[in-house]
Amino acid sequence: MKNKTPLSGLSLFSGAGGMDVGFIRAGVEIVSANDIDRDACLTYEANHPGGIIKCGDINQNLTDIRRFEGIDIVFGGPPCQGFSVAGKMNPDDPRSKLLWVFMKAVEFTKPRAFICENVKALAVLDKWSEVRQQLFRFARQLGYKYKLVVLNSTAFGVPQSRERMFLIGFRDIEDINDLEAQFERYKKQAPTVRDIVLPLGVAGSENNQRVCNAKVTIAAKPVMRRSPYAGMMFNGQGRPLNPTGYSCALHASMGGNKTPIIDEEHCYFGQDSWVEWYHSYLMAGGEPLSLDAAPKRLRRLTIDEALRIQTFPHDYQFIGGQSSIYRQIGNAVPCDLAQVVAEVVRDFLSTPELITPLPLMEREAKQLRLAI
């Protein structure tokens, strides 16, 4: 990376900056970022100082984005609650319309490439097929060749089963047919939950102080699955994590009883799993235990453990109350996954034989705009 000329990037719907961390690692210089969440903006500024982040409604700042016309990359993840399996999946949700605001920003800035991140559901469910076709038409009308890819974080070294959609478009590249194949070069074995959290120490210790006090209680009517780490054996929507496997997707709703559960004795000290024992007991026909029968060794995932699972840097500072910090973490794209996407995009932008040369006058005009 040291020998490559940095690319310029415009970050939209930036949140706490998880996606930006990955892009910066890949050699992208962020010239501006935007989000509406005040705490997320303060977090972003604390880790990326210099007034890069603009806090406020992107609709009110959209015309100002024109000054970045000719930038190398525009990237971001418009709010996905209207399309998410975890949400109500309502296409009329005002937050869903921000998808088109992102594409409008692409129209205004005419970047060499854009990356629009969202939930897998938008990419694969039939009920969103018309939305996908509208996205594709918009990209074609703007002169972009594009690919829609779905990536699972675990394939790229992230200890979390989190599938995300990336719509990737290029303006001056003729052939992007092997774009998906390029991701194969970046695949690597992900560590387990235990691998990633063990160095922190147990909850409440020096490097793992930010605990979630939401109590773990037994569900009176458990929903059983074949795996003890699926279904719902406990109240709330926080599932237990398998320390020898990968985490489930971390969501913005963490912070209370929707926060994943850790069996501390099993994860940190290698004792037999209480979760697996209880699952076997129920599957054998046992009656659910009483509400408060869950042992104290079952507790919620801490903030610092969640940060590691999302592959944030260990010294990344978060601003806000506990619920806000959990929300910022859950809303983020895992940093390591974002880096892979950025690396693949920059590989394409940095391969001269793939680039369609700009007409001389347009090239000179672009250089002048960036200089200004």
DSSP 17: S
CA atoms of 176 and 190, how far apart (whole Å): 28
CA 54 to CA 162: how far, in whole Å? Answer: 28
| H or E segment and range at residue 279 | helix 274-283
> Is 267 among the residues known to form the active site?
no
Give the integer Cα–Cα distance in Å for 29 and 33.
11
Cα separation, 34 vs 105, whole angstroms: 12
Residues 254-267, buried b or exposed e (16+ Cβ, 10 A)?
bbbbbbbbbbbbbb
Find, among 312, 100, 250, the residue nearest to 262 by Cα: 250
Amino acid in position 46: A
Which is the catalytic residue, given 41, 55, 80, 248? 80
Q: Which two tokens stand for residue 193?
A: 């939950």
What is the C-alpha R_g of the chain?
22
Provide the annotated active-site residues: 80
